[in-house]
Chain A
Amino acid sequence: MSPLRRILLKSAGATGALGGLLAAGLLKPTQVLAAEWQRQAFTATSISESLKAYGADNSTESRDIVISAAEISENGAQVPVEITSNIPGNQTIAVFIEKNPAPLAASLSFTNGALPQVRLQLKMAESSRIRVTVKTAEGKTYHANREVKVTLGGCG
């Protein structure tokens, strides 16, 4: 093994897997970590605390947010929900499950031509209201609610 190769291997090991990925161009930190995980909002244990920490406690109810889900879901470990926002412009959609141990499930930001809509699967501990909030680029917040019943909880 040539000394140069040895040095290169050593330095690759020292910077760790992350350095390796960065060097390989697999991960661009500005893309992956552009926004830090909002710990306070995600770990809050009540819907009011969570909305407050997230900054969506004074939102206006909007009919432009459409939440589609089955009224009754058999398996709380996988509740399919489809959300469509008809509010124009770049925005961030957040999903709160009011009665879950930690209500905030996801926060999704849409930009550069991504349509503000998503289909995803949620875990629900029990029947609950799902609250979806939209934060616009101008800083306005809106919300809509939908009740979903589950026959078998999926958080335990």
Chain B
Amino acid sequence: MADPIKLRATLQGDTTEIRMLMQHPMETGLRKDPADGKTIPSHFIQNFSLSANGKLLIEGQLNTSISRNPLFTFRAKGLTAGDKVVVSWIDSRGERRSDESNVVTG
């Protein structure tokens, strides 16, 4: 199973800042293994979704040009402390991960 998503949703005034770190190698398929000189196959997150209280907020499609361990910061209105925030991703090999957190007051 893939490493957990680090997720933090902080309410500041009427806006919630959501920081999510999806732990993933995001291999481009262009890099060579320094040990044997063989090309490392591409392996990257292709789709993710961020939802709050079961309603979709952001849906993303990614490519290999997103940095290793992708970190995204988003902002949303209409959330309150305690709301459940869920992030899910699926990568180019069909591996998946989903984690959740609650909105906290900043």
Contacts and interface: CB of A to CB of B under 8 A. Distances in A.
B28 A114 contact: no
B88 interface: yes
B6 to A, nearest CB: 15
Q: How large is the interface on A (under 10, 10 to 19, 20 to 34, 35 or more residues)?
A: 35 or more
Contacts of A110: 57-58
A27 B89 CA distance: 9
Contacts of B59: 31, 34-35, 108-109, 111
A47 interface: no
B96 A37 contact: no
Contacts of B104: none
Interface of B: 15, 28, 30-31, 46-52, 55-68, 70-79, 88-90, 96, 98
Interface of A: 17-18, 21, 26-27, 31-35, 37-38, 42, 77-79, 97, 100-102, 104-115, 117-124, 154-156
